[in-house]
């Protein structure tokens, strides 16, 4: 199996979003939206016996899809350039190699093993392609478009990403998901 290289978003169509209120709107309004979503997540806690709409909302918030408005709770701060890179639109969530191909194979005279590949595989016999070796470290990452320009992308690792429950399309998805939950519960109740 192979994974994408860091920052390779060539397979994704990232739109320009001039005038998008989430990206260039009043920061105080965006702050309120994020705080409401954050508190909703905290209040939901376990949704084991929650109402179907709460179950659907929880599932949707915790599993955002590409294109969803999102926030990264680990980053509710502004960067050096005054821009908040943890609020925007999810471009993609995926697994990537921890080392670039070059770093993985590059000889390192300071490393007693010689390279990252040799260190992680402990000089075992080479029966795997070094670039797809099963011991090669991977990490789960996601990319957020935080500005109106398609190049305003931030890569996040070791962080969480939650959907902001905004917009008619997402609300229609939530209503349908809640309907499916109700029908499944009714089916289980009628089966007994």
- Give the tokens for residue 14: 């990232």
User: Residue 164 burial by CB count (10 A; 0-12/13-18/19+): exposed, middle or buried?
Assistant: buried
Instruction: Tell which residue, 37, 39, 86, 43, has the closest CA to residue 60.
Output: 37
Give this prediction's pTM.
0.75
Instruction: Tell which residue, 22, 24, 10, has the closest CA to residue 151.
Output: 10
Q: Name the residue with higher pLDDT: 144 or 187.
A: 144
Q: Measured between alpha carbons, how far is 12 from 5 in angstroms, rounded to an integer?
A: 14
Phi, psi (degrees; rounded to nearest 5) at 95: -100, 135
Instruction: Tell which residue, 88, 83, 36, 85, has the closest CA to residue 66.
Output: 88
- Give the tokens for residue 8: 């390779």
Query: In Å, how far are 59, 112, 142 from 158, measured between CA atoms?
Result: 20, 28, 10
Summarised one tens digit per residue, pLDDT across range 33-90 is 777 777 776 666 555 666 777 777 788 888 899 999 998 887 766 667 777 788 899 9
Summarised one tens digit per residue, pLDDT across range 105-156 is 777 777 666 666 666 666 566 666 777 777 778 888 999 998 888 888 989 9
Return the residue matching tokens 């191909």. 101
Return the residue matching tokens 């609300």. 171
């Amino acid at each position: 199996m192979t994974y994408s290289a860091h920052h390779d978003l060539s397979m994704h169509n990232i739109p320009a979003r001039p005038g998008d209120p989430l990206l260039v709107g009043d920061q105080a309004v965006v702050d309120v939206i994020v705080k409401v979503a954050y508190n909703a997540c905290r209040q939901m806690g376990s949704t084991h016996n929650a109402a179907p709409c709460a179950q659907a909302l929880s599932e949707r918030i915790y599993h955002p899809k590409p294109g969803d408005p999102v926030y990264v709770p680990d980053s509710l701060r502004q960067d050096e350039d005054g821009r908040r890179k943890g609020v925007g639109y999810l471009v993609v969530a995926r697994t990537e190699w921890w080392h670039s191909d070059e770093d993985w194979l590059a000889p390192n005279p300071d490393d007693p093993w010689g390279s990252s590949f040799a260190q992680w595989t402990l000089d075992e016999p080479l029966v795997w392609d070094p670039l797809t070796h099963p011991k090669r470290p991977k990490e789960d990452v996601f990319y957020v478009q935080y500005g109106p320009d398609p190049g305003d992308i931030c890569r996040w690792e070791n962080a969480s990403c939650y959907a902001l429950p905004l917009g008619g399309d997402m609300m229609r998805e939530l209503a349908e998901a809640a309907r499916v939950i109700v029908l499944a519960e009714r089916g289980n109740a009628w089966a007994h």
